[in-house]
Amino acid sequence: MKRITFLLALLAAGWCGASAAPVSTHFAPTNRILMIDSSSMPIAAGKATLTIGALQRTNGVYSGDYKIKVFPYFLENETGRLAIVVSDESLAEINQGKAAAIIGTATTTTSGKGGRSRHIDATATPADINRGTLKLWFTTVGNRKMIFEPAYHFAGTGTAAVRAQMTETNLAINLQRRLPVSHGETPEAGVKHL
């Protein structure tokens, strides 16, 4: 009887220990692609729009292309490369639903402005493990503070390439539907005209 009581006590202790430390369900791979929506902000008599391409993470840095279009001041338009530092610790905080401060740099590749870098500050506020909002801000050469607040989401490592391919395919299909057939021509069955 003493042995049974001892075994039950051991099982109960093991069960309590297992239920006190649940396995985290907030784990996400660190190599997912970061997709950031386009975002705009008003400027004097116009607006500035920030568009960021798919960002791939390597050694704690998300990098990719960006464009800033300034309407109607097109001479202020800019393209370049973006590098956002997101450490494993910051990524873990985001995966746990906590806001995280991150930093980065934007380096212009625009003709006449090439090579100029600027510091970027950002705060990521997750809605869940896969998406949330960013607040990005930086100062321009003329000491204007630019603030953008786009939404973001994570995608699997192959998703961006698949999305780009699907977009090209849909574009080709839509163009085919809209292209008029000139007189005397008949469209060939099964042939895509691009």
* Per-domain residue ranges of the chain: 33-176
Whole-model pTM: value is 0.64
79's CB contacts (< 8 A; 6+ apart) are 65, 66, 67, 68, 108, 109, 110
State CA 136 to chain mean position distance.
13
Dig out the tokens for 101 from the structure: 């401060």
In the block, tokens 């995280």 appear at 100
Rounded to the nearest 10°, the torsion over CA 162, 168, 173, 176 is: -170
**C-alpha to C-alpha distance for 124 and 84, rounded to whole angstroms:** 11
pLDDT per residue, tens digit, the chain (194 aa), is 555 544 445 444 444 444 443 334 445 666 789 999 999 999 988 999 999 999 999 999 999 999 999 999 888 889 999 999 998 899 889 989 999 999 999 999 887 766 789 999 999 999 998 999 999 999 876 678 899 999 999 987 654 443 443 444 344 444 444 444 444 444 444 444 44
DSSP state of 109: -
Fold assignment, 33-176: Lipocalin (2.40.128)
